[in-house]
Each structure stands twice: as structure tokens, then as C-alpha cells.
Structure 1
Amino acid sequence: MSSLVGSPISRVDGPAKVTGRATYAAEFHPDGLTYAAIVESSISAGSISHIDSTLAERAPGVLMVLTFLNAPKLPYGPYKQRPAVEPVSGEALRVLQDAEIKFSGQPIGVVVAQTQTQAEYAASLVRVRYVPAKSLTHFDSDRSVPTSEAAAKKGRGPEARQGGDADEAFHQAAVKIDAHYVQPREHHNAMEPHATVAEWKDGQLTIWDKTQWVDNVREEMVRIFGISADSVRVINPFVGGAFGSSLRTWPHVTLAVMASRQVGRPVRLELTRRQLYYSTGFRPHTEQRVALGAQHEGHLQAHIQEAIGQTSTYEEFAEATLDAPAVTYACENRRTSYRLVPMNTNTPCPMRGPGHATGLFAQEVAMDELAALLKLDPIQLRLRNFAERSPKKDLPWSSNALQDCYRIGAERFGWERRTPEPRSMRAGRQLVGLGMATAVNTAPRYPASASATLLADGTVVVRSATSDMGPGTYTAMTQVAADTLGLPLPRVRFELGDSTFPKAEEHGGSTTTASIGPAVREACVALLAKISNMLGLSALFAPDLQDKIKLAGFSQIEAHSDSKPGEEKNRYAMYSFGAIFAEVHVDPDFGTVRVTRISGAYDAGRIVNPKLARSQCIGGMIGGLGMALLEGAEWDTRLGRVANANLAEYLVPVCADIGELDVVFVPGEDKLLSPLGVKGLAELGLCGVAPAIANAVWHATGVRVRELPITPDKLIVYL
């Protein structure tokens, strides 16, 4: 049998999704289900002086209205260990526990009714008076503060230095650029809104929740409600897109669980599109300064990158904005600085390529600017500063094929036809530009567990409490299991999304295949060994397998495995790499930008499923196009609210915006990172796309736009 790992197999869960048989969180319907709606704060800071729910309680179908006046006081116990998906410090919103208002849109009440319409109508009847306080709704860099010691322990400290005095080296450099870059606040806008169905029954709590980490939801409910882990089960077999927004357990989950316990019936709480902008996180507004100094031949002498990000007043969200700048290029003198501006807003959260995409935008546009000053090809500048070892900790790479990405990507894209001068290429009246950028993202591996069970009918069920928000976990893990067992795909079923399954860490950060894959393989190896001992079989292809199982008196045979990284994680720098190329056409009369082509060459180790991997990369390209040209929250500083909190005015790419997308994977594997040889890919797909497009726009127009998104008004005045 040829290897299933590496084959472009279609999604095993595809038929269930396209026929509507896949069940998402809001679609579970326990008996007696009721419906909830949130009452939100209309001010950004202060306290509630009076709240009147009388009219809401009298409305048709209403079963209960909960506010801080009558909601149960919850323990909100301390963390045994703060989950990796939580902000590095601060305290999560304690929902309905007091009268304090921390941000506009904060949940201040929940209505439970017989129907969704009744609940939403009743929620509109709750009357609230406030005592406003001074609110911090402006992103004011003068108010920025250094990140905390807790952030520093996660590698996100206020300052880091490599080599000598970067500022002095910059001052002495022969050629230099010093510029300011702005990444606006962005929101996820996944197809599936966040939703939770909660049911208490006979002392047991069952939660169906849109989450990327069922175990974390369970642990959070244990901590918040002071109940035992054995009494909580969290289920989530399908996720309709998340990309970081479902890593945390947001306040609406607590509200649903609280409401269900108080009303004595199951409760469904689904956020509206508008509420997604306040009740879950977002990519934070970030402003950066990049100063690069180089010798005339292009070798970097100084790299200074200073970032100021947005966070809430009650939690410290510090992301890896400066990780990519610390590792991408060789430079003898480097200084990075990271500060935060606390604001009266809900807390940001990871969003595809968190931190890395933001840091790379500033860095890669700055590198393009430096290449122009040096009159060097942008690829040549990057090759001359290729890092043979990771500069951050002076460690060898577990693998690094970035130079091959540049070469192969340039050949496929046709980079050689690029003329160096801006405004030198045209297609009819359209200005044509070609741009490129480096993509870099961490490639971690987490501990994971899995089980493999041979059933009496000869099929094998493999389980792990991981998730699948779209990258193809179901399919990739089925391939790994079937390949290990020597079985055809139809005889293997992979199950996930249940906290009763073997433990797994978060489904995020491009960690799943590298983490769950080895656990699945080891569980299958253990199952084969157990079957051999118990049934005397060396393979599962015996024609009388079912008879042998029955004769042996077994209804099933199960094996379990735990897998985790070893010391290699401390001895090597583990990253995935890529080179992104973009072609744009710009209308000189209107300043409109059309991305006609994007091409990416990726170093992601062994590719388990090329079809699904390509899908991840083109999805990242589309997200990067949105980041470059369309996306951005319009923040109302008077109200502390997102003015375009809807899919009509918050612009995202649609099919008509997309040109040709080309993906190639550089051959290789990384056995140091993972026994499967794989490296993280999904986050990498978005990294580098926005700066490649921004650099292409400069090449087409001669206009350097350093604030995203690149909208016509930022170009037309110069054209």
C-alpha cells in the first residue's frame, strides 16, 4: 500500500459539512431548550447607578432576567496555572458580579426566554442609568507602558538587545531608513458566530461551545463555578472558522452556564454579528517604528524595531509582535522595544499569525525601503542578510529552507521580469507592481494524548480532545492513523472535540499536526502491539479478523499514548518559513488596487496532505489581502465603540477580489521538531502577504503607504 501521509486526500468530514449533517455548537438541541440574549453597556467606563428589568420580566415568554443585582456570586478561583491562551496578566471580566463598567458593549445582563426573538426583545426593554467615569478611548502612545515581568517571561518583554549598541550602529550606518508603520484593529468575522448551549442535569454540566480547546472551557468552568472537573463535559465536533477567536473562554460562556443553572433548563446563547466585536477579541491596533542601518553592499548593521500595541485596562494582552524581527535576518546590533496602551475596550486576542503578521508588516516594508535606497533587488538584500543561526538565542535551526523559498518562489512567480524603478511597468493604463516579503512563524509542538480502539467490526476509532476549525484535523489524523495501522481510510474514524477524550492542548498557533500527529501514531503503534499479543495477528488485514475478535471474547481492544517534545525544543530554534510574491494593478485615475497574483513558496517540513495544506495557504493569502487593502475597525473615540461592527461596513475579501493564487511547498522534513517531520503551516500562510502587497503597490506607483489598509484615498492624491 502506498503511503497515505503525503497524499492529497479530500476532507473526510466534507460530505457531512456540505450535506448539513455536521452539527455546530448552536445546533445542539437538548430537551427543554431555552434562549438567551445579552444586555450590553452603552458607556465605556463608569458604573451602573440603576438597572430596571421590570418591563423585560413582564414581556412574553421571558423566564428570567439576570443582572448584577440578582446573579449568583461566583467563586472565580485562582488559576492553578494561567492557560497559554489567556492574557499574560490581569484579571478576566467577572461577568454580572458588580456594577463596574470597563468597556462599551460589556455584558451587564442576560435574558432567558422561550424563543430567541422573545429574549432579544425583552433585552431591549432593560433600562439602565450610569455614573460615567473618565474613559481611555484614544490610542495615545504617550500613555504607553512597558510590558510586565509576566510578559517578559513569555518572551514579550519591554526591551531586548542583541549584539552591541543598535542606536549607535544606526547612527554610524552608511545607508539607513527610519519610518513609522500602523496596523489597525482587525476582527475575525468567522462564518459561525460564537455560541454556547449549556445544560445542568443531575449535577452534571454539559456544554456545547464554539471553541478551539474543549479542555480549557472545562477548566475555566471548574475555576469560575467552583465545581469538580468530573462534573463538566464540553463538546464541540465542528468549528465554522475561528483563527484565534475561540481559544479563550469568553464571558458569554459563563453567562450561558449561569443562566442554565438559575432557570433549571438548557440555555442557548448565540452572539449576534455586532456582539462579536465586543464579546470576543480582535487583532490589536499596533504602531511601530523600524530603523534599519546598512553598509553600502547591503549587510545590516543595525535593526531597531519599537512596537506599541493596544490592550484593555483590566488585562494585559501582549503578543509576539517582535519575535519575527528578532529572528528573520542576521544583524550584529539589534534592539526591540514593546509597550502597551491600556484602553477602555474589550481585550484583544490572537488572530491568524498573531504578532508575527504585525511585526513582519513593518519589518518587510522597511526592508523593501532599504533595498530601494541601496538600489538592490529585494531578494538579494534578504539573501545577503540570511541568518545561518537563529539570532534571538544563537541557536541552530531545527530546519531552515528559506533560501530555497526565495529561489523557487521567484522562479515560479517570474520575478526576473520585474524592472527595478517604480512606475516602470504597465498593462494598458494600469500601473503594474511586483513586490515580495519574507514569511516567518514559530513552529511549536505541545504535549498531546490519543487513544486507538479496534472495534468488533474491524474498524478502528482514534480519539483526541483536539479541534478542527477548518485546517483539516479530521482528515490529516485519519491519514496518519490509517498509514500507521496499514488500513484503508474507510476503516479508520478519527473523533475529536470532546473533553472526555484524551487530553490535547489548544488548537491554534499551527501546532496541531506536529502535536497530535505523533500521539495518534504512537497510539496506533501501541494498538498493533496489543493486538499482536492478544490475537496473535501481525496486521489488521486478516480476512477472519472479526471472527478472531469474537472468539477471543473481546468487544473492543484499546490502546492509549502520550506524546511530548523533549530537550530538542531548548536546543534548536523551530520556525517555519516562506517567501511571498504579489502582483498588483493600480488604476492611476481612481487609486484602486487589484491584486492579480499572489505566489507563496513555503518551508513547512513534511506535508501530510498537500490539498489541505494548499487550502490553508490560499486562505492565508486571502486574509493577507484583506489585511493589506480592506480590513480595519473604524473606532469611535467618543463612544469607545467600533462604528463598522457589521459585515456590511467591515470589509473583507470576496471572490471578486481574488486573482491567481499559487502555492508551492519546498521539499523537506523536520524530524527534530516532530517525529512526523512536519512543521506548523496555517499561521504562516497569512504572514508576509500584506507587506508583499504593500511593496508591490509602491513598485507600481512610487507611493509608500505605511498605514494599513491601503485604500484609494491614500494613493490618489499622489497619482
Structure 2
Amino acid sequence: MIGQAVNRVDGPLKATGRAAYAYEHWEAGQPLYGFIVGATIGKGRITRIDTEDAEGAPGVQLVMTYLNAPAQGPRDESIPFEYWRAQPMLTGPDIHFYGEPVALVVAETFEQARDAADLVEVEYRAGRGRFDFGEFEDDTYIPKTVNAGLPTDTAVGDFDAGFAGAEVKVDQQYTTPYEFSMPIEPNASMVAPHGDDDLVVYVSCQITDAARDSVAGTLMMDPERVHIVTPFVGGGFGSKLGIHSETILAAMAARALGRPVKVTLTRQQVFQLVGMRPTSSQRVRLGAGHDGRLAAIAHDVTMHTNPDVEYAEQTAATVRSLYAAPHRLTSHRLTALDLPRGTDVRAPGEAPGMLSVESAMDELADALGMDPVELRIRNEPTVDPERNVPYSDRHLVECLREGARRFGWENRPATPASVREGRWLIGYGMSAAIRGHFQGPTTVRVRLEPDGTAVIQTDMTDIGTGTYTILTQVGAEGLGLPLERVRIDLGRSDHPSSWGSGGSWGATNSSTAVHRACAALRTKLLDAALGDTRSPLHGQDPSAAVFSDGDVAIGGASEALREIVARHHPDGVEAEGQTRFMGDDPNYSDYSINTYGAHFAEVGVDADTAETRLRRMLSVFSVGRVFNPKTARSQLIGGMIWGVGAALEEEAVVDPRSGAFVNRDFAGYLVPVHGDIPADIDAVVLEGYDDKANPLGAKGIGEVGICGSGAAVANAVFNATGVRVRDFPITIEKLLPGLPAMV
């Protein structure tokens, strides 16, 4: 079953509206509705808050502010991962960023709560906030580590000497804007009291275990008393790795009122309360010989962080494993601003980092007069150039060559701005892709029922990426069952815990654990049958056993699994499988384990207006073994499209007077829509198997699609126009002044 292009097993539920998302659960009874009141300044202090009119409004049951909020647990910085920490709300009068919750209004209907929220009167004493990244960019500090525990800075060889002695140099500054995950489903939660002390939390989250610990830590509860329910998540892309204000406020209100309380963020509130990819200023320096071989490479990044909750995106880490060069340097610096905290947005670090590095590589190719594909092949390393360990399974060169062949790269205009079709300037661009593969602790329970059906249980989540489907496939293959006899039960904290969906680790972690649980369950079943004189398999060689179509066969003898279970385990039989943390797995220290890809794009740029349109795009990936080609291709193309948005559209703009995001809706914050993406877009995956990654040979694919894809588009724009834009996204006003005059 593994490797087949199976349709999504949860597709019928979603297509018919029977898949219940966080805001759509009704089993707890009629809920109350909460609406968050946000601060209208970006820095300062509340001097007066009057809730009398709101409390007297129709249907209102509670108005909670810092004056009557319950005591909460503090953020515990000793907990290594942010998403497991307490997230206290309404803790005092100080305002740390625009939109920060200052009150929660709870009423019988959503409309009543929303209308009453307008009646809460808040007066402030505004302070001088730090909102403008450009103004404070030079006021930086050095974080201890960056995201994923990676080192802040690295140095190999003598970069200054290597760069100074290089025959050809590129030294450029690139900037990337604030970006948001923006899943279709806004962050939402319903919290229902259960019994005397328990809470049932229906929430849209990516990591169930983190949500439970965070709620429990905030409300100072025993985690066993918090029950997270999140069977379906309408997209996350990092924005739901941790829980946010809507969940904590709903939980506090539910405990105070003894009734279920629903709270969802409006789309505008998502922009202020969920966190974003930090803006960055990146200096990339490349020094090479005339033959294109890199002698020196450096990537120095400065980005925004919140002064209270540090987040250092690993933007410069990508280059550490990508290209060979004897002299190397990377660094990260943070500028504290009074803005919402930075957070993981799809492909954190790699997405903005590769946008800059792969643009710089294109600039180097142009300076050398060399084909950009050939330049990258000439700088292919034999071992990880900074860790000095072998790669587990690296096929980047194959991706580059196969992509070039399929795309027709030989037809690329050799000279920028040299090809025109009517009003359109035509250009080709390409880039490489790399992303680290991660592994986290995950446990899965597989249970075989007396009727011969299997139930797979884990708190792993499905954020629309196909978890239900691939776990069905792995479980069916592991036990030799038809797909329809495997049921997946996800997203409940009462199930064995996992690292959830994020970081491209979810599929491989959970599938590996299912694989191991099925192996343990097969052993139990075989031991029972082989030792039972009533079984046709009695005394047979277990090494020859074949599980297929609900039976187990050895030679000419076979028996149905349900018969073995009925005799020996009348209530069913189960086993657990685990995946351990990568820090405890020697493969992750002995090898550099990554996924790879190569992107190719063709764009047209209107010679008069600078309107840029993607005409076609092709990417080729090496990701080890693929569980389901259909869901894999969908994810990869989604990532590629995200890269198109990063190159041409996405940009959140801060009002330097208040710290508010000016374009905090889909009218102003642009993302690619159907009209922006041509039908001619495809993702090709090379056959592969990485035995160092896990027993299944598979690696994560959720984010490698976005890595570098924006740079391919940006490089195509340069090839079409001869104009290099280094301040992303590439918009009309940045491109138009440099367009060549046309006769």
C-alpha cells in the first residue's frame, strides 16, 4: 500500500461537511461566545478600563480584563520548546504590542459578544514604541541559539582572506518582509468544563501535546485534567504549532462560568495575535574563481524579535550544508521591536534564507557569464562542508539535471531582456533547494479488534496534509489488511503523544511509529498462532509469514487474523511503536540528512506596466521514499506556489506610528490566487530511499517545496528584464523604473 496514489480517506467527510473543526463541535452543549477586545496602541499602559456598559448589554455573561482575570502560571523559560510553555493573558495594564488582548466579552451569541465588545472603554498612556525595523536595524544583540537549537554563528576557514582573494565577488543586501501563515481556518477554540476539575479543549492546533501542557501550565492545572480534541485542522503552516489568546481566554471564561465558551479570532485579529515570519535584512557574500568554484561564502542576517518572547529564525543556517567552499561564515542578529512575536512560518529560515542566497548565486552566475545550473553543480560538496560528516542520501545534482532537461532549460535567454513576445518580456530562472530533515519523539498505538479491523491511535494531527491517508496506508501494509479495514483516530491528548504536524516531521515520525507498532503486533499474533495446536500455523517457521488480505500465511497454511484474535485476545490486542528524538539517534549526528530540489520558472513581464505573470513552473525533488505520490505532489506544488507569493506578492506593512499592520486582511495582504498560477505547474519526485532517516526510508516533504522556489521566480524576472530587485516582494513600483526602453 505504501507508495500508491490513494485518494484521501477523509475526503468524503470534508466534502460533505461532516469533518468537525474546532469551532464546529456541539457535543458539549450550547456554548457561550467570546469576543476579544484588542489594544489600540502599540506600547504603553492602560490608565482606565470601564466595562459597565458592556456588562449591561443584552446577553452578556462576563467581561474579563486584567482586573478580574484569574491567577495564571508564568512562562517557564526552562521548558526547551516555546509551544509547551504557559501563555498567560490579561496579566496587567502594560501594553506590549498593537492588538494585544485587553478584554474578553462573553455573551449568549457571537453577535451580542461582538457588539458589547465595542462598549468596553479603555484609556491609555501611550509610550514611545519601537516599530520601524529600518530605524533600529543597527541596534542588535546576539541570541544564544537560533530556532531548532542551531548555533547562532558558524565559521570555517578564514572568510575574510578567502573573500579578499577571490577573482569574482558578489556582496549584496537583500530584505524580506513580515509574512503570515494565513490558513483558511482562523485560530479558534471551544472549551467545555467536564466534571469537577476537567476541561475539554476543542482547538485548532498542530501539536496536541504542546496544547495540553500549555493550557495546563497557564491555568495551573494537572495536565491529565486537560483533554485536547483536534481531529481536523484547516491548515496551520506554523501558525498553530502553539496555542494563542483565543484558547487561553476561552479556557479561563469556561472555568469562571461553568459553561462551554467558544472564541475565534477574526481574520484581522489573526494578523496581530498569532505571530509572523520576522522581517530580515540579509547580507550575502560569495567569492569565486573564474571557473565558478566558490572560495568563500558568508550569510549574515538581522531580523526582528519581540523583546519579551525571543524568536530567532534560522535564516542563515541553510547555506551551511548547501554548497562547497573552504572559507565560510554565517551569523544571526536580532533587533527588538514592540511588535507581535516572530514564529515558525512554513519553512522557517529556509524560505527567506534561500530567497536571498539563491538570488545571490544567480548574480554570481551572471557576473561569471556562466549557466546558473552549471554553477551549482560545480559547487556540489562531497561531505557536509561545516559538519564534516557524509550526506545520508544527496541527489541535488540529479534534481538539477533532470529539472533542466524536463523544463527545456537549454532555451533560456542567454542575455537578460533579450526575448520579447508582443508586450511581454520573457525570462527563465532557477534555484536549488535544501531542507534539513528532523525527527521527534512519537508514540502510536495499533489495536486489532476481534472483527479483524485495525484502529491506529495517536495524538498526531492532520492539518490538511493527508495524515489520515498515509497512516491508513502504512497500517494496512504493516498488518496485511485492506485499506477499508483500517481506521485512524487522531488529535486527542488521551492518545499516545507525538510531536504533531510541523517542521515536515509529522508524516515520517508517525508513520515510522505505526510501522514499528505493526511489527510488534505481528509478533504477538504469530506467537499466539504458532504456539496453538488448534491453529493451522502451529509449529511453522515465523520468518516465512506473509500478512495479506486479513490473513497470515506460512507456506500452504493460512489463518484469518480475526480468528487468532478471537481465540487468544477476545477483547482485542494492541501494541505500541515509537520514534525517538533525533538527538538520541546516532544517524543524525553521523550524517547530514536533508531533502533536496531544483526549481525552474518562466515569467512574462509587461514591458510597459511591469506586471509580472508566472507562465510555467517545474520542480524536481529528492525526498527519499514517498508514501503517497498524490498527496506528496499536492504538498510540493502548494509550497512552490507559496514561493511565488514570497517573490511577487506577500508583504505585511507596519504603521510606524502605532505598530499596527496596515494591510491586515486579504484585500491588502496579497497571496497567490488561481489567476496568478498557471495550469502548467508540476512537481516531480525522484525515486529514492534514505535508510539513515528511518526504517521506511522516507523524509519530510511539507516544506522543501517552498525552499528556493521564490528565488527561481525572482531570477526569472531578472532574466526577463535585466532588473535585479533585492527588496522582496518584487512589485511594480520596484521593477518599473529599471525596465529597458522598448521601441
TM class, shorter-length: over 0.9
Q: Out of 698, 701, 708, which is 2:721 matched to? A: 701
Q: Out of 137, 156, 172, which is 1:179 matched to? A: 172
Q: Indicate conservation of the 8 Å contact 2:180/2:275, yes or no.
A: yes
Q: Out of 606, 624, 647, which is 2:625 matched to? A: 606
1:579-590 aligned at under 5 Å gives the runs: 579-590=598-609
Q: 1:92 Cα shift?
A: 7.1
Letter of the 2:8 partner, please give it: R
CA distance in 1, matches of 2:305, 2:87: 14
Q: Indicate conservation of the 8 Å contact 1:156/1:319, yes or no.
A: no
Q: In the TM superposition, what whole-angstrom CA distance separates every residue of 1:51-79 from its partner, at most 9, and x where no partner exists?
A: 00000000000000000011111133635
Q: Indicate conservation of the 8 Å contact 1:147/1:318, yes or no.
A: no
Aligned equivalent of 1:450: 444
Aligned equivalent of 1:270: 264
Q: Indicate conservation of the 8 Å contact 2:317/2:330, yes or no.
A: no
Q: In the TM superposition, what whole-angstrom CA distance separates every residue of 1:176-204 from its partner, at most 9, and x where no partner exists?
A: 11111111101122110100111112111
1:548-587 aligned at under 5 Å gives the runs: 549-552=565-568, 554-564=570-580, 565=582, 566-587=585-606
Give the SS at the match of 1:717: helix
Letter of the 1:197 partner, please give it: M
CA distance in 1, matches of 2:497, 2:401: 41
The reply to whether residue 146 of structure 1 matches residue 141 of structure 2 is: yes
Q: Indicate conservation of the 8 Å contact 1:365/1:691, yes or no.
A: yes
Unpaired runs of at least 5, structure 2? 531-536, 538-544, 552-557
Aligned equivalent of 1:710: 730
Question: What TM-score, normalized by structure 1, do the two folds share?
Answer: 0.96
Give the SS at the match of 1:265: coil
Q: Out of 148, 162, 178, which is 1:169 matched to? A: 162
Q: 1:543 Cα shift?
A: 7.3
Q: Out of 342, 361, 370, which is 2:355 matched to? A: 361
Q: Out of 271, 285, 288, which is 1:291 matched to? A: 285
Q: Out of 21, 28, 32, which is 1:24 matched to? A: 21
Q: 1:535 Cα shift?
A: 4.8
Q: In the TM superposition, what whole-angstrom CA distance separates every residue of 1:549-599 from its partner, at most 9, and x where no partner exists?
A: 445461211111223252111111111110000000111011001101111
Letter of the 1:8 partner, please give it: A
1:243-282 aligned at under 5 Å gives the runs: 243-282=237-276
Aligned equivalent of 1:43: 41
Q: Indicate conservation of the 8 Å contact 1:141/1:308, yes or no.
A: no
Aligned equivalent of 1:626: 645
CA distance in 2, matches of 1:405, 1:560: 37
Aligned equivalent of 1:402: 396
Q: 1:95 Cα shift?
A: 0.9
Change (3 A) 1:676 1:550: closer
Q: Indicate conservation of the 8 Å contact 2:147/2:312, yes or no.
A: no
CA distance in 1, matches of 2:137, 2:672: 34
CA distance in 2, matches of 1:77, 1:650: 32
CA distance in 1, matches of 2:87, 2:20: 30
Change (3 A) 1:69 1:141: closer
Work out the number of aligned pairs and report it.
710
CA distance in 2, matches of 1:92, 1:234: 15
Change (3 A) 1:601 1:304: same
1:278-677 aligned at under 5 Å gives the runs: 278-535=272-529, 539=547, 540-541=550-551, 546=562, 549-552=565-568, 554-564=570-580, 565=582, 566-659=585-678, 660-677=680-697
Change (3 A) 1:18 1:640: same
Aligned equivalent of 2:534: none
Q: 1:533 Cα shift?
A: 2.9
Structure 1 vs Structure 2: percent identity of aligned residues? 39
The reply to whether residue 110 of structure 1 matches residue 97 of structure 2 is: no
Aligned equivalent of 1:5: 2
Q: Indicate conservation of the 8 Å contact 2:83/2:211, yes or no.
A: no
Q: In the TM superposition, what whole-angstrom CA distance separates every residue of 1:21-77 from its partner, at most 9, and x where no partner exists?
A: 101001012213110000110111111111000000000000000000111111336
Q: 1:707 Cα shift?
A: 1.1
Give the SS at the match of 2:575: strand
Q: 1:532 Cα shift?
A: 2.5
Between 486-495 and 59-68, report the one with greater CA deviation: 486-495
Q: Out of 46, 51, 75, which is 1:53 matched to? A: 51
CA distance in 1, matches of 2:507, 2:356: 30
CA distance in 1, matches of 2:116, 2:479: 56
Please, what is the CA RMSD of the aligned residues? Answer: 1.6
Q: In the TM superposition, what whole-angstrom CA distance separates every residue of 1:491-539 from its partner, at most 9, and x where no partner exists?
A: 1112211111111013111111221111101111111222223355664
Q: Indicate conservation of the 8 Å contact 1:182/1:706, yes or no.
A: yes
Q: Indicate conservation of the 8 Å contact 2:413/2:427, yes or no.
A: no
1:155-166 aligned at under 5 Å gives the runs: 155-157=150-152, 159-164=153-158, 166=159
Give the SS at the match of 1:642: coil
Unpaired runs of at least 5, structure 1? none
Give the SS at the match of 1:691: helix
CA distance in 2, matches of 1:233, 1:152: 29
